[in-house]
């Protein structure tokens, strides 16, 4: 069954307290090579039949993400 991946990330201008907390913890543990962390959501959708790109784009942009503060990356299956 085709799988479609949707990554939802906060827009760059929106502050990300979760990512900041992870970055702080990494620094305290000595992982200084990491200088920035942003945390988002990762959805894996099982799709029946051939994925309808327009419908999936609408689902991703309006139902899985909040378009006011979040950006969406839609990854259709490559075959």
What region, left, alpha or beta, does residue 47 occupy, with left being phi > 0 and alpha being psi -120 to 50 degrees?
beta
Q: Considering only residues 20, 26, 70, 76, which one is a binding residue for its own copies as defined by CB under 8 A?
A: 26
Q: Tokens at residue 59, please?
A: 């689902």
Q: Considering only residues 8, 20, 61, 70, which one is a binding residue for its own copies as defined by CB under 8 A?
A: 8
d(CA 54, CA 30): 45
Size of the site for its own copies (CB under 8 A): 35
Q: What residues line the site for its own copies (CB under 8 A)? A: 1, 7-9, 19, 22, 25-26, 29, 31-49, 51-52, 55-56, 59, 63-64
């Amino acid at each position: 069954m085709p799988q479609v991946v949707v990554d939802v990330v906060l827009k760059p201008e929106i502050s990300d307290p979760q990512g900041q907390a992870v970055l702080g913890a990494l620094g305290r543990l000595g992982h200084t090579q990491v200088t920035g962390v942003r945390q988002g959501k990762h959805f894996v959708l099982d799709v029946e039949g051939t994925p309808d790109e327009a419908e999936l784009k609408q689902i991703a942009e309006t139902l899985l993400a909040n378009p006011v503060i979040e950006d969406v990356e839609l990854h259709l299956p490559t075959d």
